[in-house]
Amino acid sequence: MTLRAALVAGSDGLRSVVARNAKVNRYGPLRKAAFTARLDGVYGLNGRVELFTARDGKVIGLAPIGGGLANMTVALGKNHTAGAAAAGKDRAGYVLREAREIPELAERLQDAEVDGEVLACGPFDRPILPHHIEGLALLGDAAGYYDPLTGQGIYRALRSAELAAPAILQALQTRSSESIRDYGISRHEEFAFGTRLQHVIERLSRQPLLWRMALRMIGASSLLTSKLAEVIGDCPKETNACIPVMKSP
């Protein structure tokens, strides 16, 4: 069965079927995967998101969600691929072992247990080729994705929808693709600086000495910490709700 439409909006995520069928997305060179779990029994939760980095490129994110629970994401580089594959069905044990290797988390997670399913996702480098295809609009992660440090996918999805909505309405009313072209340009400009900064951070994190020096410098200034979180986390300027506590061993 074939369905025809004047316009297709692809908002179907990192592995977008729409973008793939349009032949505009591809895998980038960065190979990372992540495991996300809900934990019970974490000590020392302080109401803020905490990020921990290791010398081997591993990043742990810990986000309190109330009731003594926290969401934890363990992001791993390609050098951990074999271990992740060997974990098999014991994903819960695997993510806890990886997280407990971070010195600051060893005691805090000693009694922690995974509550529910462990979710896996990746890789996180899915660039979109420059394109203008009449009748096609890509939104959110489907429009391109790169290794987020603070997990800003929800904001970008909602913001791209705000930008796309009037363009889609105009395209349907006028039967012209010009507004969709303008939307693509606006979306790129909206997130360009934050994405470039993410690339810089990822490359810097592969140099342990420079990475630790950068974290010390940023951590010594609340202004720099707030600004970094604002840019890479897409936080509103009037709130510090998503300012992370960044730590590196």
Question: At which of 67, 90, 121 does a domain end?
Answer: 121
Average pLDDT, the chain: 83
* Shared domain check, 37 and 16: no
Find all residues with CB under 8 Å of 104, minimum gap 6, and list them: 52, 247, 249
- When pLDDT is cut at 50, 70 and 90, the band that residue 147 belongs to is confident
Q: How far is CA 79 from CA 66, 84, 151, in A?
A: 34, 10, 22
Q: What angle do CA 95, 96, 98 make, to 5 degrees?
A: 65
* Shared domain check, 145 and 114: no
* Shared domain check, 233 and 150: yes
Looking at the chain, which runs of residues are DSSP E strands? 8-10, 32-40, 50-53, 59-66, 69-77, 113-114, 119-121, 125-126, 136-138, 145-146, 245-247
Find all residues with CB under 8 Å of 178, minimum gap 6, and list them: 171
Question: At which of 96, 121, 146 does a domain end?
Answer: 121
pTM listed for this prediction: 0.74
- When pLDDT is cut at 50, 70 and 90, the band that residue 163 belongs to is very high
Question: At which of 121, 136, 162 does a domain end?
Answer: 121
* Shared domain check, 99 and 143: no
How many structural domains compose the chain? 2
Task: Determine contact, residues 42/70, Cβ cutoff 8 Å.
Answer: yes
Instruction: Identify the domain containing residue 134 by its residue range.
Output: 8-28+127-237
- Is residue 79 included in any domain, yes or no? yes
- Is residue 1 included in any domain, yes or no? no
Tell me the per-residue pLDDT of 213-245, one tens digit each, with 9 for 90 and over: 887 887 787 787 777 777 766 665 544 444 444
* The token pair that represents 116 in the structure block: 């529910």
Top-confidence residue, 204 or 142:
142
Residue range 38-55: mean pLDDT, rounded = 87
